[in-house]
């Protein structure tokens, strides 16, 4: 059975995806900021990309090589650009993209050798369309689109696919921290389906994208957003 590494799977989308893939018979390694006493888990701060070496070496020694990578960990930041500090800007870019870019570079050699690999990035519709006062978050997520298309071309002959999923608003701890109850109601008002996406919907799409049935899908982004990117 294939080995899967899901970053940021101590809560929210990643946690549900880990549960789903374990139930499907995959061997899953999870990471998160929280310290958790569960099997195949490492607490790691991805705001410093140097920690990625520690993560990769730990996983390789204690779990095995990675066949499937889900680049999921990420932080939302709502802030006007003139309030942003350089340190925070770098930390968010590191957490949301640079650490995952580097982690991908470490797992790809084994995938190339095995002539099999699946990489799924959890981006965001904020990277597909703009979001006022979330320009940094949006930039960290849209980075995945160029990354995926380029890497899809580079790795196509090795049976390695790389795709992104861009969720709209999903009800998770991230959303609960970003929006109060009033803001949640206002948000749902502009979502065409008038509902939050459920984490399990993202998990199901991950399951499909890593399956053999999706072997021809690479370099793509799929918006799973309850209609939010369709227009108004």
Closest CA to 176 of 190, 187, 167, 166: 187
Q: Which of 2, 22, 33, 112 binds ligand NAD (CB under 6 A)?
A: 33
Task: Confirm whether 158 is a catalytic residue.
Answer: no
> Judged by CB under 6 A, does residue 130 bind ligand NAD?
no
> What are residue 121's phi and psi, to 5 degrees?
-100, 135
> Judged by CB under 6 A, does residue 223 bind ligand NAD?
no
Alpha-carbon Rg of the chain, whole angstroms? 17
Cα separation of 22 and 69, whole Å? 14
Nearest-approach distance from CB 113 to ligand NAD, in angstroms:
28
Q: State the catalytic residue, choosing from 26, 76, 137, 144.
A: 137
Nearest-approach distance from CB 14 to ligand NAD, in angstroms:
5
Residue 82 token pair: 């003139």
* Site for ligand NAD, residues 69 to 128, rule: CB under 6 A: 72-76, 95, 122, 124
Nearest-approach distance from CB 215 to ligand NAD, in angstroms:
24
Distances (CA, A) of 86 to 82, 105, 131, 176, 224: 11, 26, 20, 26, 32
Q: Which residues bind ligand NAD (CB under 6 A)?
A: 8-14, 32-34, 44-47, 72-76, 95, 122, 124, 167, 169-170, 172-175
Annotated catalytic sites, by residue?
A: 137
């Amino acid at each position: 059975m294939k080995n899967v590494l899901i970053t940021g799977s101590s809560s929210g989308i990643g946690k549900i995806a880990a549960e789903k893939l374990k139930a499907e018979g995959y061997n899953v390694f999870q990471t998160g900021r929280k310290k958790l006493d569960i099997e195949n888990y490492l607490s790691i701060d991805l705001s410093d990309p140097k920690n990625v070496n520690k993560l990769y070496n730990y996983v390789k020694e204690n779990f095995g090589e990675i066949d499937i990578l889900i680049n999921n960990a990420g932080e939302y930041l709502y802030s006007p650009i003139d309030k942003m500090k350089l340190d925070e800007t770098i930390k968010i870019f590191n957490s949301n993209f640079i650490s995952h870019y580097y982690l991908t570079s470490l797992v790809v050699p084994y995938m190339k050798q095995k002539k099999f690999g699946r990489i799924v990035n959890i981006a965001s519709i904020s990277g597909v369309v703009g979001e006022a006062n979330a320009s940094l978050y949006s930039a960290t997520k849209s980075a995945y689109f160029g990354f995926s298309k380029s890497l899809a071309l580079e790795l196509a002959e090795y049976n390695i696919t790389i795709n992104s999923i861009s969720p709209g608003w999903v009800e998770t701890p991230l959303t609960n921290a970003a929006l109060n109850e009033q803001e949640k109601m206002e948000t749902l008002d502009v979502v065409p389906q008038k509902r939050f996406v459920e984490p399990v919907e993202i998990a199901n799409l991950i399951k499909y994208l890593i399956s053999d049935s999706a072997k021809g899908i690479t370099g793509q982004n799929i918006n799973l957003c309850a209609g939010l990117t369709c227009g108004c």
